[in-house]
Amino acid sequence: MRQFQKFKELHEGSEPLILGNVWNVQSARLVESMNYKALGTSSAAIASSLGYSDGQQMSIQELFLIVGRILDNSHLPLSVDLEHGYGENVKQIADIIEELHNMGVAGINLEDSYLQDGIRVQQEVNAYNQFLEKLVSELQHRRVEIFVNIRIDSFLINQDNAITEIEKRIKSFQKDGIHGIFIPGIVKQADIEQVVAWSALPVNVMCFPGLPTFAELSAFGVKRISMGNFLYEKVYKAGADFLHTIQQEQSFNSMIS
C-alpha cells in the first residue's frame, strides 16, 4: 500500500493518530521502536539541530538531506513540516512538494503564517485561499498524491478573536486536495469541539500547556495529535541535566549507571 494511503487511513480510525515528531535518524528510530504508527518532522527541531532559528532559515537542500536520511532508515509514513512552502510562487512550492512525494514522503504541513522581520504574520485569508486553490490544482495536474495538512496559526500569534478567524479560515481552506486542518495552540474543550464541528476534514492539534488528554481529545473528535518540537526540547533538557550532574559530582557515574 502506498504511504499516502496508509497515512490517510491513520486519520480515519476510532482513535487519534499520535504523530512522533522527529529531527534526525536517531529520533526516528527511537519513535519507531516505541511502536508509533507515523512520523512527522519538526521544522523547529531540525533547524535548531543544524544551528538555525525556525522560520525557513535552513535551506531546502538541507531539509531534503534530513528527510532522505529518515526515509532511508524508517518504514513508517513520514509527514514533512514544510513551513510556508520554501518557494516564492506556486510552481516553486509544487516542485518542492513533488520532489518530497518522489522521495516517498506521505504528507506535508503548510502554514498560513510566515516570519517578517522576526515577527510571525498570518497571510490574509482570501490571498491564502487563492494560493491553496492554485497549489491543489497544480498538484492534481502533476498527479502528486500527498496528504496536505493546512496549519492555521491564529492561536500561535495570539490573534484577537482567534476562534472567529479560525472558523473563517477553515471554511475557506477546506476543499478537494486538502486532507487535514491543523490548529496548534488550541487547548480549550469548547474551542476544540467547535473546530471539529466546523471542519469536514480531520483536525490536528499539538502538544501545548493545558492540552487535554488523548482520551479526551478523542472524545472531542480530534483525529491527529502532534508533538511539535517538545520532544526535541525535552531530550536536550535531559542532556543538560546530565551534564550539570557530572559537573556537580565530578564523576561520570550518573551517565553510566
In angstroms, the CA 215 to CA 122 distance is 31
- Render the burial of 220-230: b for 16+ CB within 10 Å, e for the rest: bebbbbbbbbb
In angstroms, the CA 39 to CA 76 distance is 6
Are the CB atoms for 148 and 181 separated by under 8 Å? no
Q: Which amino acid would we find at residue 75? A: H
In angstroms, the CA 168 to CA 245 distance is 51
Task: Please list the residues that pair with 67 across neighbouring strands.
Answer: none
In angstroms, the CA 224 to CA 218 distance is 9
In angstroms, the CA 84 to CA 135 distance is 13
Alpha-carbon separation of residue 177 from 7, 172, 184 (angstroms): 15, 13, 21
How confident is the model at residue 257, as a pLDDT? 76
Closest CA to 142 of 106, 188, 181, 93: 93
Count Cα atoms within 13 angstroms, Cβ side, for 113. Answer: 23
How confident is the model at residue 131, as a pLDDT? 97
- Backbone phi, psi, residue 157, to 5°: -95, 10
Burial of 232 (0-12, 13-18, 19+ CB in 10 A): buried
In angstroms, the CA 142 to CA 123 distance is 26
In angstroms, the CA 140 to CA 187 distance is 34
Neighbours of 249 (CB within 10 A): 11
Cell 542532556 found at: 239
Mean pLDDT per block of 10 residues along the chain (257 residues) reads 92 97 98 98 98 96 98 98 97 98 98 91 96 98 97 96 97 95 98 98 98 98 98 97 96 88
For the whole model, what pTM was predicted?
0.96
- Grid coordinates in use for 12? 480515519
How confident is the model at residue 117, as a pLDDT? 86
In angstroms, the CA 134 to CA 177 distance is 11
